[in-house]
Chains A and B, each alone.
Chain A
Amino acid sequence: MKKFETLAATAAPLFLPNVDTDVIMPKQFLKRIDREGLAEGVFHDVRRTDDGMLREDFPLNQARYQEAKILVAGRNFGCGSSREHAVWGLLQAGIDVVIAPSFAGIFFGNCEKNGLLAITLPEEQVSRIVDLVEGSERPELKVDLENCQITLPNDDVIDFEIQEARRRNLLEGRDHVETTLAKADAIRAFEATRQDPRNW
């Protein structure tokens, strides 16, 4: 997994509640057995008209948000299906950070496993970021995970909170399986003492 480094980049607003993973990555992009080719799938069905043209009213299609690496989203982002393809696709499309008032549980876990930084902030703060991003000439944010700070387009700095273990995992780009396999003895010891649920 790649390490997360401080990022100064364009942020795009998508401030609707309950954007689900079917919308983030529609089913026609789930038919592969590898992780490739998913950038095209991100928001595909809401991003394009029925005949495949880009819709101008969709933020990521607008020139000012073209280079976005940060998404400022609504409550319960990533709800619905567990499909990790949603996270792979966002990363492949260049999105490294999503800021939202809350995230659905499975999606939140999937982000961390792939090095996508999901930041939770109170709804009013997210709403304020959306206003600043939409209202500024340069819709840019700086996200510093070392110090847990976001610099807004007007140069205000706000703090965010993240669980320490998650922060370290993201900064160091750890291989989760390897970290757990270092505890193989503890897992075996646990297995030796427990009752098998099928075999009383």
Chain B
Amino acid sequence: MTTPQTLYEKIVAAHTVEQLDEETVLLYVDFHIMNEYTSPQAFAGLHSADRPVWRPETHLAVVDHVNPTRSIKSLDEMDDADARLQIENLGRNCQRHDIEIFDLFDTRQGIEHVVVPENGYALPGMVIACGDSHTTTYGALGALGFGIGTSEIEHILATQTLVYQVLKPMRVRFEGALPDGVTGKDMVMAFIAEAGVSGAVGYAVEFQGEAISALDVEARMTICNMAVEGGARAAMIAPDEKTFSYVSGRPRSPQGEGLDAAKAHWKTLQSDPGANWAKEIVIDMTRIAPQVTWGTSPDQCSPVNGQVPDPAAIDVASDRAAAERALEYMGLTPGMKISDIHIDRVFIGSCTNSRIEDLRAAARILEGKRVADGVVAIAVPGSQAVKREAEAEGIADIFRDAGFEWRGSGCSMCLAMNDDFVPAGERCASSTNRNFEGRQGRGARTHLMSPEMVAAAAVTGRVTDVRNLQKD
């Protein structure tokens, strides 16, 4: 009898070219994605060593991080010369090595982790790497996706492999049914709050449970995407019928008989009963309310009906110091109600929450309402395809009528490398994944939450339990 294996272990085993030592393998990479800001130095390294790209057809480049999200017809309309250089440089590198690129004016352009599944590039069982930490997103399809640095980008370009340190398997089981008004975002935020931002460092996480099965594939992507904020370098959900129907019929998915054969294989991508987990966490779904961060680290998070904690109550000195610093930066006082936090800006976007289901969910809250006085609201769809779909469905009109600016796609105010940023001292309700100091702009104060919660904050001007609006 073969030893029972986890899904993660199966995929690693199927991609091991060679075992290098006890913990390290030479791992074969099926697919690799690049953006304009972490890849230039990798190409430069390749060129200075005069090495070819091993398999150009397994790479895709996407412009998403530095581009403006206002509509432009040519790069000449960009005022940021450095950003323009990065975009042009990516184009030149792709042309030189015959690598496919979704440039700014391609109808398939968007945030890398949105366009890759959308176009069927990510499939169950694959190993996918990208110079971006949120590559864990593809775990939602039963693929092993993980982020890498620039040196590793160069390594994949040149060798199609990575020297990969194998992680320990960890299971996170959500017990109980998904309560009304609770989303995938709340589930992953609750997981991070429970495990801490380093709780999954060194582990490959697999999410299981009834509530996970109940989620649509896009909500599962939100979970796997943000799991990296808990330190997980792999976050997976075993593929099921929902996954198969999600990937079927997309431009780069297998078709016809190939699809049937692929499905037969995909069905084997499950953790075996009796597989060994190095760590397990159980999260009780009945205890999960919509989540909101109050600090500058994603685990500094509370249910919306909770309070800003008192650092004095934290035992570990370094954590206490970090919480004090966070509250000072955020301009909050211990003990105040989370729902008393007022909001200056709202942002719906990012690879965590800018897919069509996210926009639909936010639109259900916004329909027939107006953004509160003084609140600046922008929505940035995750891809141009999502944008077109939302426009066709009338969602864009709901956003505009509510007083949102409706933009083109890109990372935008998630990391504020373009001109979309939150001014110092202002407070932003954001559907993104990182509330780090300065992430959305120097001095910007970020409160992470689901897109529904962002919509609720937009219309009331303060952090608001979306379940109260849903009752209306």
**If the complex has contacts A76-B201, A84-B151, A106-B147, are A180 and B163 also in contact, measured as CB distance less than 8 A?**
yes
**If the complex has contacts A33-B89, A79-B198, are A84 and B438 also in contact, measured as CB distance less than 8 A?**
no
Q: Which of B21, B149, B155 contacts A177 (CB 8 A)?
A: B155
Please encode chain A, from 10 to 30, with 1 for each CB lying within 8 Å of some chain B CB and 0 for all others.
000001111010110011001
Check if A16 sits within 8 Å of B125, measured CB to CB: no
How far, in whole Å, are A34 and B415 apart by their CA atoms in the complex?
Answer: 20
Check if B83 sits within 8 Å of A187, measured CB to CB: no
Check if B443 sits within 8 Å of A16, measured CB to CB: no
Measured between beta carbons, the chain B residues less than 8 angstroms from A200 are: 254, 257-259, 261-262, 265
Check if B297 sits within 8 Å of A18, measured CB to CB: yes
Check if A180 sits within 8 Å of B159, measured CB to CB: yes
Q: Which of A30, A164, A187 contacts B28 (CB 8 A)?
A: A187
Check if B66 sits within 8 Å of A104, measured CB to CB: no
How far, in whole Å, are A22 and B329 apart by their CA atoms in the complex?
Answer: 15
How far, in whole Å, are A27 and B440 apart by their CA atoms in the complex?
Answer: 10
User: For residue B23, which residue of chain A has the nearest CB?
Assistant: A163
Check if A16 sits within 8 Å of B198, measured CB to CB: no
Q: Assess whether A50 is interfacial by the CB under 8 Å rule.
A: yes
Q: Assess whether A109 is interfacial by the CB under 8 Å rule.
A: yes
Please encode chain B, from 430 to 451, with 1 for each CB lying within 8 Å of some chain A CB and 0 for all others.
0000101111001100000000
User: For residue B160, which residue of chain A has the nearest CB?
Assistant: A187
Check if B41 sits within 8 Å of A31, measured CB to CB: no
How far, in whole Å, are A103 and B436 apart by their CA atoms in the complex?
Answer: 17
Measured between beta carbons, the chain A residues less than 8 angstroms from B252 are: 198
Q: Assess whether B233 is interfacial by the CB under 8 Å rule.
A: yes
Check if A18 sits within 8 Å of B152, measured CB to CB: no
Q: Assess whether A83 is interfacial by the CB under 8 Å rule.
A: yes
**If the complex has contacts A46-B437, A106-B133, A181-B158, are A84 and B150 also in contact, measured as CB distance less than 8 A?**
yes
Q: Assess whether B282 is interfacial by the CB under 8 Å rule.
A: no
User: For residue B42, which residue of chain A has the nearest CB?
Assistant: A84
Q: Assess whether B215 is interfacial by the CB under 8 Å rule.
A: no
Check if A22 sits within 8 Å of B437, measured CB to CB: yes
**If the complex has contacts A106-B149, A113-B149, A113-B151, are A33 and B40 also in contact, measured as CB distance less than 8 A?**
yes
Q: How many whole Å from A28's CB to the nearest CB in chain B?
A: 8
Q: How many whole Å from A92's CB to the nearest CB in chain B?
A: 13
Measured between beta carbons, the chain B residues less than 8 angstroms from A199 are: 254, 258
Q: Assess whether A87 is interfacial by the CB under 8 Å rule.
A: yes
Q: Assess whether B154 is interfacial by the CB under 8 Å rule.
A: yes
Measured between beta carbons, the chain A residues less than 8 angstroms from B126 are: 197
Measured between beta carbons, the chain B residues less than 8 angstroms from A31 are: 37, 66, 80, 82-83, 86, 417
Measured between beta carbons, the chain A residues less than 8 angstroms from B417 are: 27, 30-31
Q: Assess whether B336 is interfacial by the CB under 8 Å rule.
A: no
Check if B28 sits within 8 Å of A106, measured CB to CB: no
- Chain A positions 33-62 with a Cβ under 8 Å from a chain B Cβ: 33-35, 45-46, 50
Check if A113 sits within 8 Å of B152, measured CB to CB: yes
- Chain B positions 209-243 with a Cβ under 8 Å from a chain A Cβ: 229, 231, 233
How far, in whole Å, are A115 and B132 apart by their CA atoms in the complex?
Answer: 21
Measured between beta carbons, the chain A residues less than 8 angstroms from B17 are: 183, 186-187, 190
**If the complex has contacts A34-B41, A50-B424, A83-B38, are A187 and B254 also in contact, measured as CB distance less than 8 A?**
no
Check if A110 sits within 8 Å of B231, measured CB to CB: no
- Size class of the contact patch on chain A: 35 or more
User: For residue A77, which residue of chain B has the nearest CB?
Assistant: B198
User: For residue B437, which residue of chain A has the nearest CB?
Assistant: A23
Check if B149 sits within 8 Å of A109, measured CB to CB: yes
How far, in whole Å, are A164 and B21 apart by their CA atoms in the complex?
Answer: 9
Q: Assess whether A66 is interfacial by the CB under 8 Å rule.
A: no
Check if A110 sits within 8 Å of B151, measured CB to CB: yes
Q: Which of A32, A80, A84, A180 contacts B26 (CB 8 A)?
A: A180
Check if B152 sits within 8 Å of A35, measured CB to CB: no
Q: Assess whether B322 is interfacial by the CB under 8 Å rule.
A: yes
Measured between beta carbons, the chain A residues less than 8 angstroms from B18 are: 183, 186
In this complex, the member of A20, A35, A45, A183 whose beta carbon has the largest number of chain B beta carbons within 10 angstroms is: A20
Q: How many whole Å from A90's CB to the nearest CB in chain B?
A: 13
Q: Assess whether B70 is interfacial by the CB under 8 Å rule.
A: no
Q: Assess whether A3 is interfacial by the CB under 8 Å rule.
A: no
Q: Assess whether B30 is interfacial by the CB under 8 Å rule.
A: yes
Q: Which of B150, B325, B434 contacts A16 (CB 8 A)?
A: B325
Check if A17 sits within 8 Å of B149, measured CB to CB: no
Check if A177 sits within 8 Å of B262, measured CB to CB: no
Q: Which of A20, A34, A82, A103 contacts B40 (CB 8 A)?
A: A34
Would you list 30 pairs from A and B whose C-beta atoms are within 8 A, ordered by A residue?
Answer: A16-B322, A16-B325, A20-B434, A20-B436, A23-B436, A23-B437, A26-B442, A27-B417, A31-B82, A33-B41, A33-B86, A34-B40, A45-B437, A46-B437, A76-B201, A81-B415, A84-B150, A104-B231, A106-B147, A110-B151, A113-B151, A176-B155, A177-B51, A177-B155, A177-B158, A180-B155, A181-B159, A187-B54, A197-B123, A199-B254
Q: Give the top 4 A-B pairs by smallest Cβ distance, nearest first.
A: A113-B151, A31-B82, A33-B40, A200-B261
Interfacial residues, chain B to chain A (CB-CB below 8 A): 14, 17-18, 20-21, 23-24, 26, 28, 30, 37-38, 40-41, 44-45, 49, 51, 54, 66, 80, 82-83, 85-86, 89, 123, 125-126, 131-133, 147-152, 154-155, 158-161, 163, 165, 197-198, 201-202, 229, 231, 233, 252-254, 257-259, 261-262, 265, 297, 318-319, 321-322, 325, 415-417, 424, 434, 436-439, 442-443
